[in-house]
Amino acid sequence: MLRRRIGGPGGPEVSALCLGALPFGSTVDERTSFAVLDRFFEAGGNFVDTANNYVFWLPGSTGDESETTVGRWLAARALREEVVISTKFGGRPTVPGTGLETAEGLSAPVVRKAAQESLRRLGTDRIDLYWSHVEDRTVPLEETLGALNALVSVGDVGALGASNHPAWRVERARAVAQGNGWASYSCVQQRYSYLQPRFDVALPESGHVHVTPEMLDYVGSEPDLTLMAYSTLLSGAYAREDKPLPTAYEHPGTAPRLAALREVASELGATPSQVVLAWLLHGTPPVLPIVGVSSVEQLDELLAAVDLRLAPEQRKRLDEA
């Protein structure tokens, strides 16, 4: 599989697709989760993304499920040294049965405690890429970044990322880190796909922050900053005509883009989902997609997108639709 370095030329080398582990151990049982992870690794994938709160919102779940399942797979297959693990903290509710309104946040004590708990669930001595999952403006950036730098200094954490932070906050955080000689955010993770939502209509997932033109411009101007995208396939909406799009995507621009997408997919003998991933992978700036699947068959379809190339005219048609 195509490989890329994240966070600049000195960052870890990862597969061009990242496997999202959000449903593993919950809506996707452990046996199927292991089969998907096995197939991903067999195909050359080495980058797995999880979080310390997946999937707290489902009845009977605690938020431990995804990390714990990934940790058991790593141990069962003895693959820790060959897999790059990405996980997040900050969005885990502190009161059972509640949501992000009681999220743990980004204080220094949380940084330290959450990292140790993730290390335990993952069964590892280091987190390769550690994310501030959601913003917490009640805590000074200096406090969060200082605590994260301490984790990097002792080897518990490798690279750092900011998930669901707007561009100006990422820039400010990076300036604070640089000014103090600390490890800095070198990755950004936000929601992004080919179809674009209206920004005056809320997304159904309250914690999601969508990529903006400003973020694309910022990432494109910073050689040591990598953009990763989640919800790249809109929960199956490109593959299933019976899957409704969220209200934010109900606007006059959606139909022309869908038509262009299906036209290009037909020309290439590909699926719309494959074309979406190719569009992300080979754009300017390039985006590293996180893909979530619930079966090996779904994964096989998406793996084929890595080798798909859009002709310049096709790219132009998709961009201008």
pLDDT at 241: 78
Q: What is the mean pLDDT of residues 78-93?
A: 97
- Indicate the residue type of 128: D
> pLDDT-based confidence at 244, cuts 50/70/90?
confident
Q: What domains does the chain contain, in order, with CATH numbers?
A: 3-320 (3.20.20.100)
Alpha helices in 123-212 (DSSP H): 141-153, 167-180
Distance of CA 241 to the CA centre of its chain: 25
229 sits in which H/E element: strand 226-230
pLDDT at 206: 82
3-class SS string, 232-299? CCHHHCCCCCCCCCCHHHCCCCHHHHHHHHHHHHHHHCCCHHHHHHHHHHCCCCCCEEEECCCCHHHH
> What is the percent of the chain with per-residue pLDDT over 90, rounded to a whole number?
94
pLDDT at 240: 82
How far, in Å, CA of 86 to CA of 46, rounded?
11
Sign of the CA dihedral with 175 first, then 180, 186, and 192 last = negative
Q: What is the mean pLDDT of residues 245-258?
A: 95
Residues paired with residue 188 on neighbouring β-strands, in sequence order? 162, 227
pLDDT at 242: 80
Cβ count near 304 (within 10 Å): 15
> 204 pLDDT exceeds 90?
no
> 127 pLDDT exceeds 90?
yes
> 33 pLDDT exceeds 90?
yes
Q: What is the mean pLDDT of residues 221-230?
A: 97
Q: Which of 5-14, 82-91, 105-114, 143-152 has the lowest mean pLDDT?
A: 5-14
Distance of CA 78 to the CA centre of its chain: 24
How far, in Å, CA of 281 to CA of 304, rounded?
12
Q: What is the mean pLDDT of residues 132-153?
A: 98
Q: Are 186 and 6 in contact (CB under 8 A)?
A: yes
Q: What is the mean pLDDT of residues 239-245?
A: 84
pLDDT at 223: 95
pLDDT at 243: 82
| Nearest-10 crossing angle of helices 167-180, 141-153 | 60
How far, in Å, CA of 169 to CA of 13, rounded?
26
Q: What is the mean pLDDT of residues 279-293?
A: 97
The rounded mean pLDDT for the chain is: 96
> What is the percent of the chain with per-residue pLDDT over 70, rounded to a whole number?
100
pLDDT at 71: 98
Distances (CA, A) of 139 to 95, 105, 182, 183: 20, 8, 17, 18
